[in-house]
Amino acid sequence: MSTVYIETYGCQMNVSDSELMYGKLQAEGYAPVDSPVGADVVLVNTCAIRENAEQRVIGRLGELRRDLKPGAVLGVTGCMAQRLGPRLLETDTRVQLVVGPDAYRLLPQLIEGARNGERSTATDFDLEEHYEDFTARRFEGVKAWIPVQRGCDYRCTYCIVPTTRGPERSRRLAEVVRETQEVAAQGITEVVLLGQTVNSYHDGSADFADLLRAVGAVDGIRRVRYTSPHPNDFSDRVIAAMAETPAVCEHVHLPMQSGSTAMLKRMLRRYSREDYLACVERLRAAIPGLAITTDIIVGFPAESDEEFADTLSLCRAVRFDDAFTFKFSAREGTPATRMPPEWTIPAAVVDARYEALVATVRGIAREKNLGRLGERMEVLVEKEARKGGELLQARSRDFKTVLVSGTPDLVGRYLTVELTGTTGATFTGTPVQERQPLPMAV
């Protein structure tokens, strides 16, 4: 039997796409393996969001060349494949396949062709494509990624995603519910709904509020998460659905990008600093105990000291539980690359701002986390933190990582823990017996 190995870079959407590709190829008779060494087909599922993501892949392709057995097929899939297309075949002569996110249906036949020596590129967008007839081959046993929307119709000026993933389209609600029921039947209790601007989901008759309620009502599903929403798509309906659906977790990842209204305009984010804060307040008012995490970019063209200070002050105003911080990376073809060259921020300034931002974000998270020691909460055990060390990694509903000692048989189980320590970012916890009601005296 032929074997296939897929190496995944980038976001959860890519992880989910790799699961779909594995599923499709398995159905076609390929056995998934967990190493490129000796595999018949090796696919690298790539990300193009920042320059360094692509550099990593280029470096990795060089390494893989050495691991490949003679005659093995090497392919590049995902956003970098879509972005570079045939250019990838020119720069790396070992690569035989370049397949974009909407063309995975063609993989079996393209691989066949490659085995006969062909080299090909498949990068057409397909607005109907949701891979409904593929069965994802999942490797994560505790939670399931469920794509509900592909592509993006926003045009944030820094972002390559609209180019690499095409226009926005939503899966039908009934299909999302069907897949949720399937994973629940396999014993999975947590689902993560994925979309580039997931809360703009609309399948023609149902919106994201309907989707949250429908998925949250599936038997056996105890936790529903979603990523990433856009602040402008938090309608009252969506917030109410989040608040009123018990399975939907008390966490939202709400990309802010910048705290300056002028900067947000240059980024074409379509909201102001005040709009963002108002969105946070509406969410917090509706959902007690809501944790909020975010994405922030520093060094976008023309970022002034004042604008950067606005980013720090909005972080302090919101008090994020955590933030992913990025240095701006110019992506070929995006509107940001057409801004005046004198707007470019010197690398040393970007570095200094980046460090200041990380220190601010960490300081806030640490303060918040220290304040929670002693709290009791429900966690879901996700995996062994260290193989054999009897240390487990668990997660709270509000997305805190909690390390708990215990044996691997607890993976997939829910425990009540007391938070006993924190590094500032993650917690340690001790399982506590749920207090039983005392027997009535007779």
Binding site for ligand SF4 (CB under 6 A): 152, 154, 156, 159, 161-162, 196-197, 230
Minimal distance in Å, beta carbon 7 to ligand 5AD?
20
Nearer to ligand 5AD, 208 or 326 (CB): 326
Spatial distance between the Cα atoms of 166 and 8, rounded to a whole number of angstroms: 20
328 binds, among ligand SF4, ligand 5AD, none (CB under 5 to 8 A by kind): ligand 5AD
b/e 328-352 (16+ beta carbons within 10 angstroms → b): bbebeebebeebeeeeebeeeebee
Spatial distance between the Cα atoms of 381 and 403, rounded to a whole number of angstroms: 9
Nearer to ligand 5AD, 14 or 121 (CB): 14
Nearer to ligand 5AD, 84 or 297 (CB): 297
Minimal distance in Å, beta carbon 156 to ligand SF4?
3
In sequence order, the 6+-apart residues with CB closer than 8 A to the CB of 371 are none
Q: Which of 104, 134, 271, 328 binds ligand 5AD (CB under 6 A)?
A: 328
Q: Is 172 exposed, middle or buried (0-12, 13-18, 19+ CB in 10 A)?
A: middle
399 binds, among ligand SF4, ligand 5AD, none (CB under 5 to 8 A by kind): none
Minimal distance in Å, beta carbon 305 to ligand SF4?
24
Q: Which has the closest alpha carbon to 19: 159, 164, 169, 141?
A: 141
Greatest alpha-carbon span in the chain: 84
Spatial distance between the Cα atoms of 268 and 196, rounded to a whole number of angstroms: 16
Minimal distance in Å, beta carbon 337 to ligand SF4?
14
Tell which positions 272-301 bind ligand 5AD, by CB under 6 A.
Answer: 295, 297
Contact 311, 317 (CB under 8 A): no
Tell which positions 109-138 bind ligand 5AD, by CB under 6 A.
Answer: none
162 binds, among ligand SF4, ligand 5AD, none (CB under 5 to 8 A by kind): ligand SF4
Spatial distance between the Cα atoms of 274 and 343, rounded to a whole number of angstroms: 25
197 binds, among ligand 5AD, ligand SF4, none (CB under 5 to 8 A by kind): ligand SF4
Handedness of CA 137, 140, 142, 144 (dihedral sign): negative
Give the three-class secondary structure for 194. strand
Nearer to ligand SF4, 45 or 396 (CB): 45
**Is residue 417 at the binding interface for ligand 5AD, with CB under 6 A as the rule?**
no
Spatial distance between the Cα atoms of 241 and 60, rounded to a whole number of angstroms: 43
Spatial distance between the Cα atoms of 68 and 3, rounded to a whole number of angstroms: 12
329 binds, among ligand SF4, ligand 5AD, none (CB under 5 to 8 A by kind): ligand 5AD
152 binds, among ligand SF4, ligand 5AD, none (CB under 5 to 8 A by kind): ligand SF4
Q: Which has the closest alpha carbon to 224: 143, 147, 294, 148?
A: 143
397 binds, among ligand 5AD, ligand SF4, none (CB under 5 to 8 A by kind): none
Nearer to ligand 5AD, 9 or 326 (CB): 326
Q: Which has the closest alpha carbon to 330: 93, 90, 52?
A: 52
**Is residue 159 at the binding interface for ligand 5AD, with CB under 6 A as the rule?**
yes
Q: Which of 39, 49, 103, 206 binds ligand 5AD (CB under 6 A)?
A: 49
Nearer to ligand 5AD, 135 or 163 (CB): 163
Q: Which two tokens stand for residue 298?
A: 């520093």
Q: Which of 171, 253, 331, 397 binds ligand 5AD (CB under 6 A)?
A: 331
**Is residue 416 at the binding interface for ligand 5AD, with CB under 6 A as the rule?**
no
Beta-bridged to residue 257, according to DSSP, are 296
Q: Which has the closest alpha carbon to 164: 99, 119, 94, 75?
A: 99
Nearer to ligand 5AD, 36 or 255 (CB): 255
For residue 290, is it left (φ>0), alpha (ψ between -120 and 50) or beta?
A: beta
b/e 10-22 (16+ beta carbons within 10 angstroms → b): bbebbbbbbbbbb
Minimal distance in Å, beta carbon 290 to ligand 5AD?
19
Q: Which of 123, 170, 257, 260 binds ligand 5AD (CB under 6 A)?
A: 257
Nearer to ligand SF4, 156 or 345 (CB): 156
Give 3-state DSSP helix, strand, coil % of the chain, rounded to 5.
40, 25, 40
Minimal distance in Å, beta carbon 158 to ligand 5AD?
4
Residues in the chain: 442
Q: Which stretch binds ligand 5AD (CB under 6 A): 83-91, 218-226, 323-331, 390-398?
A: 323-331
- Total site size for ligand 5AD, rule CB under 6 A: 12
Binding site for ligand 5AD (CB under 6 A): 49-50, 158-159, 255, 257, 295, 297, 326, 328-329, 331
